[in-house]
Amino acid sequence: MMAMNDQATPSPLGDEEMIARYKQAVERALPRVPVKNGVIEIDSVWVETSLPYDLLEAILRREDLVRPANVERIILKTRVQTQPQGEQGGSGKRRRKR
């Protein structure tokens, strides 16, 4: 019978270590985000990182986040509009049958 090897299964990372890794990933992505008048938007950062908005917002709010020199501030309000489940986009008019 084989003995179980502890090294075969990866150890779970602590919350602080995982946040530090996400923070590092965001810092690497920030130079690739478009900057307009010293401002970047959370939506642009999301496109580069694909992190969930709540996690991304928490990371962007951190005081120890290293930003590029040309970034003065980060807008955390998203411009993405979400629709409730089951609703379709458009004007609400029905298609005509042919």
Q: DSSP label at 43? A: H
Read off φ and ψ for residue 91, nearest 5 degrees.
-90, -5
CA distance 64 to 46: 19
CA distance 71 to 35: 7
Q: What is the pLDDT of residue 61?
A: 95
pLDDT by residue (tens digit) across 6-46? 555 555 778 889 999 999 999 999 999 999 999 999 999 99
Which residue in this structure is represented by tokens 């602080």? 16
Cα end-to-end span (Å), the chain: 71
Radius of gyration of the chain (CA): 21
| pTM confidence score | 0.68
Q: What is the pLDDT of residue 86?
A: 57
